[in-house]
Structure 1
Amino acid sequence: MSTPSTPPVPDPPGTPIPAVSARPLLSDADFNSVLGTILTNNPGMSIEMGGRIITQALAFVATAASKPGRAMTPSRVVDEGWHTLILHTGLYYRLCARFGNFVHHIPEQPDPARHDQAVIDRTTALIEAAGYAVDRDLWRGPEDTLVSVAASCQHSDDSGPIVIIPKPKG
């Protein structure tokens, strides 16, 4: 004879969703392929750091593709991961399609004078609201040297670092 189980108590409205890693968005084979590219492009980068960067780039792309019309921009370090994902065109296309919109990359030359931390903070808040964990060490300003990356690209304001296709109506 079984005893009745107590039904789960739902979380109250407004309870934050626990953040999860974006790592499972790629199969192991795809993740390792992208990891190999980022390590090749950044000699001396540890496997662990390469994985962290790719994971944050996945969270960034997934959030941007699922939130058209929201101005977002990656940090200098996360942009390196985004570049690496883009190099894997089929994988990148499928990732964007999975979230409903293709996220185009429009590079800008680095200029620390254009850096606006408020834009980065808004981006990380959107990523967290989408349920992904944010690795704060990878979202620092362009002058930060904690993580060295090869990319010479920066996105610093709302003037077009991301183009969502199709463009949102309204």
Structure 2
Amino acid sequence: MPIIPPTVTITTPALINGKSLISDGLLARLTTRIADEHPELAPDMPTRIMDQALAFLGTCAVATRPIGPSDTVDIGWHTFILYTTEYAEFCARIAGRFIHHVPDDDPVVSPVQVKLADVVETITAAGYRVDPELWPLTMRVDCSQCHSGCHDGN
């Protein structure tokens, strides 16, 4: 009689939402600010933007290559960093260090260019759900958090 190997079930862990990294109260404060400052956005966009900004920042904590946000996702990062106490606590808890946002407006410094498709791949590999509408895959971005050591193993 032939030996039948046991059935192996491979499960892929579910991707998590970035917004799960902060409290509902802080999420409400951040999304309200985005809605107030960007009244042109659809009602669901502030939450989607913060979710993706948090997924991006969570990925910055573990990324081994340069990544940068899309323009839309950067709105969430800009909003969060204004809440310095909460942002610093988040960075310490998630990354063990501060995740700096360094503007790339210095014409002397040549920023690292990254493709958003690579960023999306990195975010997904880090275990976060990606909202594809907020990551236009044909675009390139200037890596603005690389100065914080996102890709050098620190």
**Alignment check: 8 A CA contact 1:103 1:162 kept:** no
SS in 2 for 1:86: helix
Q: Which amino acid aligns with 2:118?
A: R
Partner of residue 37, structure 1: 33
**Aligned in 2, Cα 1:16/1:38: closer, same or farther, shift over 3 Å?**
same
Cα drift, residue 102 of structure 1: 1.6
Are the structure 2 counterparts of residues 11 and 30 from structure 1 closer, same or farther at C-alpha, using a change threshold of 3 Å? farther
Partner AA of 1:41 in structure 2: E
Could you say which residue in structure 2 is the equivalent of 1:102? 98
Among 66, 73, 77, which residue is 1:82 paired with?
77
Q: Secondary structure at the match of 2:115?
A: helix
**Relative to structure 1, is the Cα distance of residues 167 and 18 closer, same or farther in structure 2, using a 3 angstrom cutoff?**
closer
Give yes or no for contact 1:75–1:141 (8 Å, CA) kept in 2. no
Q: Give the TM-score taking structure 2 as reference length.
A: 0.77
CA separation in 2, counterparts of 1:24 and 1:106?
A: 25
Aligned to 2:14: 18
Cα distance in 1 between the residues matched to 2:98 and 2:85: 12
Match of residue 151 from structure 1 = none
Does the residue aligned with 2:100 lie in a helix, a strand or coil? Answer: strand
Q: Which amino acid aligns with 1:156?
A: V
1:92 paired residue among 78, 87, 90 = 87
Does residue 164 in structure 1 map to residue 138 in structure 2?
Answer: no
Report if aligned partners of 2:115, 2:138 keep a CA contact under 8 Å in 1: no
Q: Number of paired residues?
A: 142
Q: CA deviation at 1:52?
A: 0.2
2:124 to 121, 128, 135: 128
Q: Over aligned residue pairs, what C-alpha RMSD do you find?
A: 3.1
5+ residue gaps, structure 1, are 1-8, 144-154
Shift of 1:103: 1.2
Identity among equivalent positions (%) equals: 33
Contact 2:61 2:150 in 1 (8 A): no
Residue in structure 1 matched with residue 57 of structure 2 by the alignment: 61
Query: Would you say the 8 A contact 2:65–2:152 is kept in 1?
Result: no
SS at match of 1:156: strand
State the Cα distance separating 1:26 from its structure 2 match.
Answer: 1.1
Contact 1:62 1:95 in 2 (8 A): no
SS at match of 1:163: helix
| 3-state SS of 2:148 partner | strand
Q: Which residue type is aligned with residue 51 of structure 1?
A: T
DSSP-derived class of the 2:147 partner:
strand
